[in-house]
């Protein structure tokens, strides 16, 4: 990466970005091997969100060669072309999304983007809003970009990007067809710990429900009604109210309530390793930082903790 690089860039719209990348997109559409309608739902919907997020931002590793999104698409094509043909391998769509998320998140760690002089715009937060949304909010049509030393937080940043880019249609398709391979999108590479399919599917549904709750503002950190908060490095859910929120969302997503009672639901979450038991008990009593009184809570497990952080930031 050229750490001395920098320059000014005129932003273009998301549709124009994808039009410029049409050859690469068409190759990907062919290589993923899905029918037209499924490709639109599962691949193109996420490509549109990704293009909206980074627009025509330069590739910091090779600024003179074009956009980071073009580089990421070409890397995904190369990744698919190197995949073995036949059953039993990683689904092509997962390979594409894994490469795209990895390439773009790594690139963003080494970039700073600010509005051109005179705009008065704050620096682009990278994970707080899409570049297109930030540009519209601050009426920035030109930006200044600089390359800096990347932060050593690749796993976290991949999860942050995944939480913002993967569309609901993509997640629904992956949940049905990709099984445990979905975990690769959040952490990169195959997990070293085998995850039974039923546990992975429940974890996916919980992650999707959390994302919906965060997107609608029902779950916000240290904000009323205080369903979720961080205490040090640990993430806690207010119980049983947060559990009821999750059950309602999963019922909307799947058409079935996952459990009859909060106790049964908590047992499922423990079995699926979605929450961390505290000794012999799952629930703990802690002082809620917003309510300022002792409450019953459960601690979210590591991977879901990272995903929720991505949704809430």
Compute the average pLDDT of residues 268-275: 84
- Please name every residue paired with 114 in a beta bridge, in sequence order, or none if there are none: 144
pLDDT tens column, 94-136: 889 989 998 898 888 888 899 888 777 888 877 777 899 889 8
Model confidence at 14, pLDDT cuts 50, 70, 90, reads very high
Q: 61 and 1 in contact (C-beta within 8 Å)?
A: yes
What percent of the chain has a predicted confidence (pLDDT) above 70? 83
CA nearest neighbour of 301 among 213, 223, 186, 217: 186
**Segment 190-216 mean pLDDT:** 67
Token duo for residue 166: 């993967």
Mean pLDDT of 79-100: 76
Two structure tokens written together for 140: 């920035």
Give the pLDDT confidence of 208-249 residue by residue, as tens digits.
888 888 888 888 877 788 898 877 667 889 999 999 999 999
By the 10 Å C-beta count (0-12 exposed, 13-18 middle, 19+ buried), 207 is classed as buried
DSSP state of 63: G
Report yes or no: 217 and 281 within 8 Å, Cβ to Cβ.
no
pLDDT at 152 over 70: no
Give the pair of three-digit tokens for residue 281.
């008990």
Least confident segment among 13-17, 20-24, 264-268: 264-268
8 or 197, higher pLDDT: 8
CA distance 55 to 72: 13
Distance of CA 263 to the CA centre of its chain: 30
Residue 8 has pLDDT above 80, yes or no: yes
Provide the pLDDT confidence category of residue 191 given band limits of 50, 70 and 90.
very low
Phi, psi of 204 (to 5 degrees): -60, -40
b/e code 89-123 from CB counts within 10 Å (16+ = b): eebbbbbbbbbbbbbbbbbbbbbbbebeeebebee
Q: Which two tokens stand for residue 96?
A: 């594409």
Residues 57, 62, 66: CA angle, nearest 5 degrees: 45
SS3 assignment, position 21: coil
Q: Is the pLDDT of residue 178 over 80?
A: no
State how far the alpha carbon of 111 is from the alpha carbons of 3, 7, 122, 133, 263, in Å: 9, 11, 15, 18, 46
Which tokens belong to 157? 């940043």
> Residue 180: exposed, middle, or buried by beta-carbon count in 10 A (0-12, 13-18, 19+)?
middle
Residue 90: both structure tokens together: 């990683």
pLDDT over threshold 70, residue 268: yes
Whether residue 262 has pLDDT greater than 90? no
CA distance 149 to 168: 33
- pTM here is 0.61
Residues 44 and 93: beta-carbon distance below 8 Å:
no
Question: Rounded to an integer, what distance in angstroms lies between the CA atom of residue 239 and that of residue 234?
Answer: 15
Mean pLDDT within 275-298: 82
Domain 6-194 has CATH 1.10.10.10: no
Give residue limits of the domains in the chain. 6-194, 198-312
- pLDDT at residue number 256: 85
């Amino acid at each position: 990466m050229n750490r001395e690089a920098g320059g000014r860039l005129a932003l273009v719209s998301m549709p124009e970005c994808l039009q410029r990348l049409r050859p690469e997109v068409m190759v990907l559409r062919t290589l993923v091997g899905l029918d037209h309608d499924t490709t639109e739902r599962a691949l193109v919907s996420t490509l549109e969100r990704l293009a909206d997020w980074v627009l025509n931002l330069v590739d910091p590793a090779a600024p003179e060669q074009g956009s980071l999104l073009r580089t990421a698409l070409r890397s995904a094509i190369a990744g698919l072309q190197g995949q073995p043909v036949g059953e039993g391998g990683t689904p092509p769509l997962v390979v594409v999304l894994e490469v795209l998320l990895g390439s773009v998140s790594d690139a963003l760690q080494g970039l700073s983007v600010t509005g051109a002089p005179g705009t008065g715009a704050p620096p682009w937060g990278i994970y707080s809003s899409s570049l297109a949304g930030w540009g519209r909010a601050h009426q920035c049509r030109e930006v200044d970009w600089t390359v800096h030393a990347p932060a050593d937080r690749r796993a976290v940043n991949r999860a942050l990007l995944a939480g913002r880019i993967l569309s609901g249609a993509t997640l629904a398709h992956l949940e049905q067809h990709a099984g445990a391979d979905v975990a690769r999108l959040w952490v990169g590479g195959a997990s070293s710990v085998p995850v039974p399919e039923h546990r992975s599917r429940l974890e996916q549904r919980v992650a999707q429900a959390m994302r919906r709750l965060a997107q609608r503002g029902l779950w916000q950190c240290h904000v009323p009604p205080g369903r979720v908060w961080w205490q040090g490095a640990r993430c806690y859910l207010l119980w049983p109210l947060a559990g009821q929120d999750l059950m309602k969302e999963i019922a909307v997503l799947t058409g079935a309530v996952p459990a009859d009672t909060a106790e049964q639901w908590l047992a499922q979450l423990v079995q699926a390793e979605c929450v961390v038991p505290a000794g012999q008990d799952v629930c703990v009593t802690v002082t809620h930082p917003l309510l300022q009184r002792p409450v019953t809570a459960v601690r979210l497990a590591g991977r879901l903790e990272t995903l929720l952080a991505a949704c809430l930031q």
